[in-house]
Amino acid sequence: MSNDENMICNEFEKEIYLYLDNDLSTDRKEYWKQHISNCKTCSSLISDIEIVLDQARIELSEDLPDAKFEAMIEKAVQKKRFKIAKWLFPQGTAKEKFAFSVKLAVVGVLAAIAIIISLTTQQPNTVKTISNELLDWEGKKVTSQINEIKNTINLIHEDNWDKQIILLDQRMKVLEDKSDKFSFN
């Protein structure tokens, strides 16, 4: 094979899959068609690829059992259940159901512990506590008002109102005397 021919074959090797996919322009496809008909290397390259793919397709074929396939389809199309319903009523393998039982048992134990703790611990009555606090506050307010009144009374006492009245009397007398002096009677 000449160097030129070799180059053409290498070029074809690069485009062979596009040729097989019919993804080349009409001219290019026609050009390769011509080349293949005259080139043993390239025509056997195509047949080798076709053989590998055909045989691999047959030999590598695997399948699922019908029942399994049907169950998978069923699972794929089933309506989406609410998460909580799914959690509470699981459907599935024994393993999944066992996992659910374990979850349920754990939740049950935790709930029981919470109930026991709440029953054994003395909790302050919040309503009662607030009422007492309000009463205390009201009591303090009344007491402070009483004390204020007492203080005022004390102040009054301390100011010696009797003396003040006597002084006033005296002042009145002085004023009367003065007025007598100015009288023309």
Partner 1 sequence: MSATREQTLIEKCRNGEATAFGPLIKIYRKQLFSYLLKLCGNREDAEDLFQETLIKSWKGMNKYSELQKFSSWLFTIAHNTAMDKLRKRNKETMITETELDELSHSNDPLKELIGKEFRNKIQKAVEFLPFKQKEVFLLRLNGEMSFKEIAQATNEPLNTVLSHMHYSVKKIKRLLRSENE
Residues that bind partner 1 (CB under 8 A): 13-14, 16-18, 21, 23, 44, 47-49, 51-53, 55-57, 59-64, 68-70, 72-73, 75-77
Q: Report, in Å, the least distance between residue 47 CB and partner 1.
A: 8
Choose between 77 and 127: whose C-beta lies nearer to partner 1. 77
- 8 Å CB contact between 38 and 9: no
Measured CA to CA, the distance from residue 133 to residue 125 in angstroms comes to 12
Q: Report, in Å, the least distance between residue 11 CB and partner 1.
A: 13
Q: Report, in Å, the least distance between residue 52 CB and partner 1.
A: 5
Choose between 48 and 148: whose C-beta lies nearer to partner 1. 48
Q: Report, in Å, the least distance between residue 77 CB and partner 1.
A: 4
Choose between 76 and 149: whose C-beta lies nearer to partner 1. 76
Q: What phi-psi label fits residue 160: left (phi over 0), alpha (psi between -120 and 50 degrees) or beta?
A: left
Which phi and psi angles does 124 have, rounded to 5°? -65, 140
Per-position DSSP letters for 46-96, written without gaps between them: HHHHHHHHHHHHHHT-----HHHHHHHHHHHHSPPPPHHHHHHS--S-HHH
Q: Report, in Å, the least distance between residue 119 CB and partner 1.
A: 47
Choose between 44 and 129: whose C-beta lies nearer to partner 1. 44
Per-position DSSP letters for 107-164, written without gaps between them: HHHHHHHHHHHHHHSPPP-HHHHHHHHHHHHHHHHHHHHHHHHHHHHHHHHHTTHHHH
- DSSP, res 182: T
28 contact partners, CB below 8 Å, separation of at least 6: 15
Choose between 48 and 138: whose C-beta lies nearer to partner 1. 48
Choose between 18 and 168: whose C-beta lies nearer to partner 1. 18
Q: Report, in Å, the least distance between residue 41 CB and partner 1.
A: 10
